[in-house]
A and B are shown apart, each in its own frame.
Chain A
Amino acid sequence: MVALRKCSKCGVEKELCPEHFHRSKRCALGFGYTCKTCKLLALKLWKKANPDKAKAQKKRYQAKHPEKQEEKKKRWRANNPEKWKAQLKRRRGARKAREPEKYEAERKAQKQRARERLTDGYIKSLMVNANSLSRKDIPQELVDAKRFQLLITRKVKELEG
């Protein structure tokens, strides 16, 4: 037999299950007296009426559970790669406009680091100078071979002084 409960807010009788009522140890039969729809609506209204408190509460929660936030961000980035790319582009643009000199200096340093470390991106950029070839066309094996060739050339230069 299915147990039913009348919501104390809307008065609608609903099935007493986690789908319709939040769990509560204090209430009879382990479920709250207000249905989920009413609770969520009340929460939404409260947030609208108390934006500062809601913001503070959210911040407190995020500080308390940083790993959950990171997981959530990762999930969003994986599910919305285009949006994430656009967001990064926007942020870069904003940063460039805000601190142009610092931005340029950091970019230069980043390029220098890539050159020193012989990253895949740097090696591919060397190989795609011809305009018909794109980075994704270059297989990883060829990048690895090119990396060793550059390493040898550098080492020879170093030995020859």
Chain B
Amino acid sequence: MKNVNELRDQLADTFTALSNGDLEAKTAKELANLAGKMINSAKVQLEYHALRSDHDAKITFLHSTDK
């Protein structure tokens, strides 16, 4: 998962698998936990740029589209 779009797609797949019963709750919980950490780290980067009033800054995780 190199960017936020991939993370979103992965989470969507996880949710579908969990709803269908193809994935264990424990695994899904760990994945959600990991996603939370990634989202929070992106948020910290956003906060950093907001504090510096650098609103046009490019955050690789949020703005990259590389696969």
Contact of B39 among A134, A142, A152, A160 (CB under 8 A): A142
User: How near does chain A come to B22, taking the closest CB pair, in angstroms?
Assistant: 13
**Residue interface bits A128-159, CB-to-B below 8 A is 1, else 0:** 00101110011101101110110111011001
B55 touches A137 (CB 8 A): yes
A142 touches B43 (CB 8 A): yes
**Residue interface bits B43-67, CB-to-A below 8 A is 1, else 0:** 1001100110001000000100000
Contacts of B47 in A (CB 8 A): 130, 132-133
* Chain A interface, number of residues (Cβ within 8 angstroms): 22
Contacts of B11 in A (CB 8 A): 145, 148-149, 152
User: How near does chain B come to A76, taking the closest CB pair, in angstroms?
Assistant: 31
A142 touches B62 (CB 8 A): yes
Q: Report if A149-B50 is in contact (Cβ < 8 Å); known contacts: A141-B4, A141-B8, A160-B25.
A: no
A148 touches B8 (CB 8 A): yes
B43 touches A148 (CB 8 A): no
Q: Report if A132-B15 is in contact (Cβ < 8 Å); known contacts: A141-B8, A149-B32, A156-B32.
A: no
Contact of A146 among B12, B31, B39 (CB under 8 A): B39
Contacts of B43 in A (CB 8 A): 127, 130, 133, 138, 142
Report B's interface with A, CB cutoff 8 A.
4-5, 7-8, 11-12, 14-15, 18-19, 25, 28-29, 31-32, 35-36, 39, 42-43, 46-47, 50-51, 55, 62
Q: List 26 A-B contacts (CB under 8 A).
A: A130-B43, A132-B51, A134-B50, A137-B46, A137-B50, A138-B46, A139-B4, A141-B5, A141-B8, A142-B42, A142-B46, A145-B8, A145-B11, A148-B8, A148-B11, A149-B11, A149-B35, A152-B14, A152-B28, A153-B29, A153-B32, A155-B25, A156-B29, A156-B32, A159-B18, A160-B25
Report A's interface with B, CB cutoff 8 A.
127, 130, 132-134, 137-139, 141-142, 144-146, 148-149, 151-153, 155-156, 159-160
